[in-house]
Amino acid sequence: MSPLSSLSPQEQIAAFEKHASTLHRVKDELNRLIFGQELVINEVLAAILAGGHSLLVGAPGLAKTRLVSAMGTVLGLDHRRVQFTPDLMPTDILGTEILEEDANGKRAFRFVKGPVFTQLLMADEINRASPRTQSALLEAMQERQVTIAGEERALPHPFLVLATQNPIEQEGTYPLPEAQLDRFILQTEIGYPDEAAERRMLAATTGSEDLTPQNVCTPADLEEAQQLIRMMPIGDGLIGEILSLVNALRPGGAKEDLLLWGPGPRASQALSLTVRARALLDGRTAPSREDLIALAPAALRHRIALTFPARAEGHTVDDVIRELTARIG
């Protein structure tokens, strides 16, 4: 039972206002550091508030790494970064057991924790590591634990993975398997900043302005906000629209002829949680259709694949999703 559920309605409203105000300051701090990416920041925060992992896809130099690093500091989370490369081994992420000898000559194994034992793990250029190394995160992302030498070891709470991926350079990369993609609650596409944002970025990054991230909240604040998300009411009508959208992208659905495969139940769960997170970020006490329309591409684009004929005809995953969400409005 969530501690917040025992509060009176007035106390719950006070908790909502408190966290909405804190998250507003979090967004302001991140927007001070990352220029022209307000939508990206909102999507990543929505994923974190929903308790899920996020995949950031964008060309080099679009502040993906800086955003993740700043996110850890601003949210007060212990965070570590792993640069994924073809020679990275699973033990480089999870840790390993080493044999040690004490002063009496007695030998024993000691476990040395890897960087996965953190609250916010940045998996930089995750698709550059081999499938064997990528799979090291499967259990961690789903179960919030890792099994090493037959022993289950719990990860810190909260445990979040923010992974980055470069869509341009595909030589020497290993595409993530569908099972791992499905573990990311959202896939956020990062575009180029507009001219005004880039002008501000030039003035700030090539001048004397202090762009050091400042802490705004604590892990306890974040966990309470995550509890608040799950307590937020969501209407039956909106649940119905989520299910209709997801089912339209499955075999037998409206877009069956364009798809190789469609989204599983995690897609519905992702939308149910992130639409509520987006409402809290906006200071609203309940999600709306606009939240569903805004987050549907990020929640679904990595969970479906188009057939070759569909791609040859010029269809894209985002176009298919937009066509379906246009009917919601």
R_g over Cα of the chain: 21
- The whole-number pLDDT of residue 265 equals 92
- The whole-number pLDDT of residue 272 equals 96
Find residue 53's DSSP bridge partners: 184
Concatenating the DSSP letter of every residue in 148-167 gives: ETTEEEEPPSS-EEEEEE-S
Q: Rounded to 5 degrees, what are φ and ψ at 101?
A: -120, 130
Indicate the length of the chain as a whole number. Answer: 329
- Nearest 5 degrees, angle CA 74-CA 64-CA 293? 90
- The whole-number pLDDT of residue 1 equals 43
CA-wise closest residue to 26 among 295, 191, 222, 273: 222
Instruction: Specify whether domain 29-207 bears CATH 3.40.50.300.
Output: yes
Q: Which residues contact 310 (CB under 8 A, 6 or more apart)?
A: 257, 258, 259
Q: What is the DSSP letter of 209?
A: -
- The whole-number pLDDT of residue 105 equals 75
Question: Is the Cβ–Cβ distance between 244 and 161 less than 8 Å?
Answer: no
Q: What is the pLDDT along the chain (329 residues), one digit of tens a residue?
A: 456 667 777 777 888 889 899 999 999 999 988 888 889 999 999 999 999 999 999 888 888 888 888 999 999 999 999 999 999 999 999 988 888 877 777 888 788 888 999 999 999 999 899 888 888 899 999 999 998 878 889 999 999 999 998 887 667 688 888 888 999 999 999 988 888 888 888 888 887 777 888 999 999 999 999 999 998 889 999 999 999 999 999 888 888 888 888 899 999 999 999 999 999 999 998 999 999 999 999 999 999 988 898 889 888 899 989 988 888 75
- The whole-number pLDDT of residue 329 equals 58
- The whole-number pLDDT of residue 289 equals 93
First CA to last CA distance, the chain: 36
Q: Is 187 strand, coil or helix?
A: strand
- Region of 60 (left: φ > 0; alpha: ψ -120 to 50; beta: rest) is beta
Distances (CA, A) of 275 to 12, 39, 88, 160, 310: 19, 14, 36, 19, 29
Find residue 122's DSSP bridge partners: 81, 162
Amino acid identity, residue 6?
S
- Nearest 5 degrees, angle CA 202-CA 46-CA 290? 100
